Structure 1
């Protein structure tokens, strides 16, 4: 009996130590692939956690994302479970429908849910550059139940067909982006980067919300649409190809604050 208890205790310790090791710079294995996660600093160990699934840029991996000072900061660091899948060969398959990375990313969410209590009504999907395009692909194919798409400096072609859609979309893009040039629409239309979602949500005329800034050195011009099918926000800035300071955590904070105000 004692030997049995010792064996059970050893097995339990092995499982808990393995779970504890799967965090931060130590990747969580998932089949023949892996992902990184960051548990929020203020978690009480029981409450269901909002989730941010973030797709890294080209030639990066998830270990950077969970310590990124423009992603894993503010409300994300304090209150959100951050999931960072690792792309095969440090890239993503977003060009065509039925992306294998869509299924992999969904498996990441489910694996994390087996480890931690997650709030399935507050799952956010974000990405930067190549990862923004993958984030678009994910919500196009598996977006039902996703609280918001938060895309930075990357889109998909506006004439593709999306089988699913998130509850809302927020996009940021630099007018001087030299890596993925700003996708101007007909006549130089600056709202074109979200044309697909405006059509999917049956949006009307957008609202000019004027300039705003997260940091004093970068000003955004915001246009927003409150639509029958969901909400769309586009932030445009004069800069290039980068993740603006605080933009991702501020979008999550705004969305969660609006929910609490209802």
Structure 2
């Protein structure tokens, strides 16, 4: 549904920015708001991939559009960054009854009135509580989403999702004590993506070994590429609750078929 709506909105004349808002200046939308950041060097006409990123608890979208590990990745890769503002600086991701999924769809629809969005390259991301909200969003409205890029947060692996993104990429720290690492039965470290493996019909795990973006942090990657629909990637690291340096940019590069770079 969201992909169809975005395609329809491509026919509407565009303006330079939503109500003059950009970066730290919030875009009003009813009784709520969001932030948007266009990439550097954009010509004002070329359709843009979108990273819809949900902020962490007690934060707002102004933090997202100024964050070097989020905005620093999008603005140099030709990606439009969209950061909704949660009610009372948080998100209601606990059940499918949340109003925040509808709000996020309204945000994307409003952005599409002002920017030429590429409906085939809608990426949904989030960190901590925002990551859990990103999971909830694609669980309820993910059929038009190209990829979920989630960091350190999820909903219950037993949820019955009505929709799903084409691709899932999730990063989590083994020592996370804020959004605890969701260890599976008998110490199964692949459990953090059990929901999507089941939903997308994935079969055999394929360990990809250790890799790193920066020399001081090593991640261990496992992929499920033999799924009935889509793919799943899990990146684990030995640290705690944070966005790994360069991780978001690395995923955007891989999704675009480019050789990944840092920053």
Assess same fold via TM > 0.5: yes
1:187-198 equivalent positions in 2, closer than 5 A: 187-198=186-197
Aligned twin of 2:210:
211
Structure with greater proportional helix content: 1
Q: Is the 8 A contact 1:23 1:37 kept in 2?
A: yes
Measure the CA separation in 1 of the matches of 2:97 and 2:249.
29
- TM-score of the two chains, using structure 2 as the length reference: 0.90
Unaligned residue ranges in structure 1 (runs of 5+): 1-14
Measure the CA separation in 2 of the matches of 1:173 and 1:50.
25
Q: Is the 8 A contact 1:179 1:241 kept in 2?
A: yes
- Residues 48-100 of structure 1: CA deviation (Å, up to 9, x unaligned): 00000000000000001001011012354440000000000000010011310
Aligned twin of 1:5:
none
> Is the alpha carbon distance of 1:210 and 1:18 closer, same or farther for their aligned partners in structure 2, counting shifts above 3 Å?
closer
Q: Is the 8 A contact 1:42 1:78 kept in 2?
A: no
Measure the CA separation in 1 of the matches of 2:15 and 2:184.
53
Aligned twin of 1:118:
117
Measure the CA separation in 1 of the matches of 2:181 and 2:96.
23
- TM-score of the two chains, using structure 1 as the length reference: 0.90
- Residues 136-166 of structure 1: CA deviation (Å, up to 9, x unaligned): 0000000011000011000111101100000
**Which deviates more, 152-161 or 73-82?**
73-82
- Residues 199-232 of structure 1: CA deviation (Å, up to 9, x unaligned): 1111111101000001000000000001121100
SS at match of 2:70: coil
> Is the alpha carbon distance of 1:237 and 1:17 closer, same or farther for their aligned partners in structure 2, counting shifts above 3 Å?
closer
How many pairs align? 244
Q: Is the 8 A contact 2:15 2:114 kept in 1?
A: no
Once the 2 structures are TM-superposed, how far is the Cα of residue 249 of structure 1 from its aligned partner? Answer: 1.4
Q: Is the 8 A contact 2:152 2:173 kept in 1?
A: yes
Q: Is the 8 A contact 1:57 1:128 kept in 2?
A: yes
Aligned twin of 1:60:
59
Confirm whether residue 185 of structure 1 aligns to residue 184 of structure 2.
yes
1:168-179 equivalent positions in 2, closer than 5 A: 168-179=167-178
Aligned twin of 2:234:
234
